[in-house]
Amino acid sequence: MIITVEGTKTFSDYEIFMRAMSVALSNIKDNEINVWSLGPHKINSFTASFCNSSESFLKNKGFKVNFYKISHQWLAENLFSVDYYAFFSMPKEPESKMCKAAQLVEGCEVGIFRY
């Protein structure tokens, strides 16, 4: 399963982030979870922290977790592989171009989280 995480520079609520990751993990299809993070820095930090803190728990359940920082260009070429796309922002901020593109990919579920 591939989960992609992206957010805006103004997003900073770790609790919302963790709830969103719970939603993403509720649809686990494989025993390997790849988490791709687009940034910005705070989102990358949240994602790395989530992967590190949940790795031992998920490993005990038989899952392997991998974390990767990726670029927008690389994701544009590999968007068809994404199973779940999580986008984080403040209210009234628009979705990114990549988030809108993910909504058009067949088989990709998109979660938009705002607070």
Structure tokens that stand for 48 in this block: 């790395």
- pTM score: 0.93
Report all structural domains of the chain as residue ranges with CATH numbers, in order of start. 2-114 (3.40.50)
Structure tokens that stand for 63 in this block: 């899952």
pLDDT tens digit sequence for 29-88: 788 999 999 999 999 999 999 998 888 888 888 889 999 999 999 999 999 999 999 999
Position 68, amino acid: Y
Q: What is the DSSP letter of 12?
A: -
Closest CA to 71 of 111, 102, 36: 36
**Do 112 and 87 meet the contact criterion of CB atoms below 8 Å apart?**
yes
Residue 106 — pLDDT band, cuts 50, 70, 90? very high
